[in-house]
Amino acid sequence: MREFLDGKQLFLLDMDGTLYIGDRLIPGAGAFLVRLRETGRRYLFLTNNSSKGTDAYIQKLADMGINASPGDFLTSADVTRDYLREHYDEKAIYVFGTESLKAHFRSGGLTVCDDLRSDISALVIGFDTELTFRKIEEACILLNRGVDYIATHPDMVCPTSYGSVPDCGALAAMLESATGRRPLALGKPKPEIVYAALKNTGVPPESAVLIGDRLYTDVACGNNAGISTVLVLSGETTSEAADKSSIKPTVIANSVADLPVF
């Protein structure tokens, strides 16, 4: 594995389940990031979690002893914002998500509505830690109207210190059971977030690696983008699930602490 990582200059790192679980840093994760910096590598945090803005992630990492800046992050909220700006510029959208996600979209010049206006063009669903029944009801009304339907990402669960909670994919499954509608899901496993990282850093695909704890989002994303992947078993995926899956990483490690960087 050492030879495999020696040629990598850009490390694309999932966060939930890879670097931390809830508010607890995974043992060895901080030292791993220090080693990357000390050896001249670049890393970016890639997360599908759309419940928080970049400022909140910076503070969360700071509370765990990790310094980060806005340029260290690419999120499914960023990918979704770019998609919406391309396809729904000057059109009204309804966001089934947190106030942080709404603010992120508004800062990008998007028209985000908090009521059921007649001119709403799209419903956008994210990981909503501020969920209310009113949002569920209004989402169903909009879906039955036939508006376009977009999800920031397809993750079914988000790991926490006490287990898992329903993520964006699970909320979309709930709405599907009521309306029969499925969203266009952005974020990982679609490769655009990796393409953006490569473009922003100027690193060629062969010198990049994506590290994450989910096969169907993290590993699939790296595979779809044509870069190397590492599955860590510190979050959602077990070794048994990895053995049975048709989605195969380049290598498997127990956690980032086991990845040799010299």
DSSP-assigned letters across all residues of 197-228? HHHHHT--GGGEEEEES-IIIIIHHHHHHT-E
Model confidence pLDDT, tens digit, residues 86-127: 999 999 999 999 999 999 999 999 999 989 999 999 999 999
Instruction: State the sign of the Cα–Cα–Cα–Cα dihedral 200, 58, 215, 98.
Output: negative
Does 209 have pLDDT greater than 70? yes
Model confidence pLDDT, tens digit, residues 30-85: 999 999 999 999 999 998 888 888 888 999 999 999 999 999 999 999 999 999 99
124 within 8 A of 85, measured Cβ to Cβ? no
Give Cβ neighbours of residue 177 (< 8 Å, ≥ 6 apart): none
Percentage of the chain modeled with pLDDT above 70: 99
148 within 8 A of 123, measured Cβ to Cβ? yes
**What DSSP line would sit under 125-151, residue for residue?**
E---TT--HHHHHHHHHHHHHT-EEEE
Domains 2-48+188-258 and 77-185 share a fold: yes
43 vs 20: CA distance, rounded Å: 16
Report in angstroms the alpha-carbon separations of 166 from 49, 97, 127, 171, 249: 12, 13, 8, 7, 25
Does 6 have pLDDT greater than 90? no
| 22 or 83, higher pLDDT | 83
Does 20 have pLDDT greater than 90? yes
Does 26 have pLDDT greater than 70? yes
pLDDT of amino acid 1: 67
Model confidence pLDDT, tens digit, residues 167-180: 999 999 999 999 99
Does 231 have pLDDT greater than 70? yes
End-to-end CA distance of the chain: 11
Domain range list for the chain: 2-48+188-258, 77-185
Superfamily of domain covering 77-185:
HAD superfamily/HAD-like (3.40.50.1000)
Mean pLDDT of the 223-249 span: 96
Superfamily of domain covering 2-48+188-258:
HAD superfamily/HAD-like (3.40.50.1000)
Mean pLDDT of the 128-152 span: 97
Lowest mean pLDDT among 7-21, 44-58, 183-197, 218-232: 44-58
pLDDT of amino acid 2: 67
253 within 8 A of 233, measured Cβ to Cβ? yes
